[in-house]
Amino acid sequence: MKLQKAYVTQRLYDTCAFAVVRVPTIERGCEIAEGLLAGGVKAMEISYTLPNAGEVITGIKERFGDDMLVGAGTVMEATTARLAIMSGAQFIVANCGSDEVARICNLYQIPYAPGCTTMTEANHALEMGAAFIKCFPISNVYGSNLVGLFKTPTPWMPLMASGGINLTNLSEWISKGIDCAGMGSLLTKGTKNEIAQNAAEVRHIIDEVRSER
Which CATH number do you get for residue 75? 3.20.20.70
Residue 43 domain-assigned? Answer: yes
pLDDT of res. 213: 74
Range of the domain at 41: 4-207
- One-letter identity of residue 206: I
pTM, 2 dp? 0.96
pLDDT of the chain along its 213 residues, tens only? Answer: 567 999 999 999 999 999 999 999 999 999 999 999 999 999 999 999 999 999 999 999 999 999 999 999 999 999 999 999 999 999 999 999 999 999 999 999 999 999 999 999 999 999 999 999 999 988 888 899 999 999 999 999 999 998 889 999 999 999 999 999 999 999 999 999 999 999 999 999 999 999 987
Residue 15 domain-assigned? Answer: yes
Q: Report how many domains make up the chain.
A: 1
Residue 213 domain-assigned? Answer: no
Rounded CA separation 172/210 (Å): 11
Residue 59 domain-assigned? Answer: yes
Q: Strands of the chain (E only): list them.
A: 17-21, 43-47, 69-73, 92-93, 112-113, 115-116, 133-135, 159-162, 180-183
Residue 212 domain-assigned? Answer: no
**Nearest residue to 161 via CA among 60, 190, 175, 199:** 175
Residue 79 domain-assigned? Answer: yes
Q: What is the dihedral of CA 117, 8, 14, 132, to 10 degrees?
A: 10
Residue 133 domain-assigned? Answer: yes
Residue 67 domain-assigned? Answer: yes
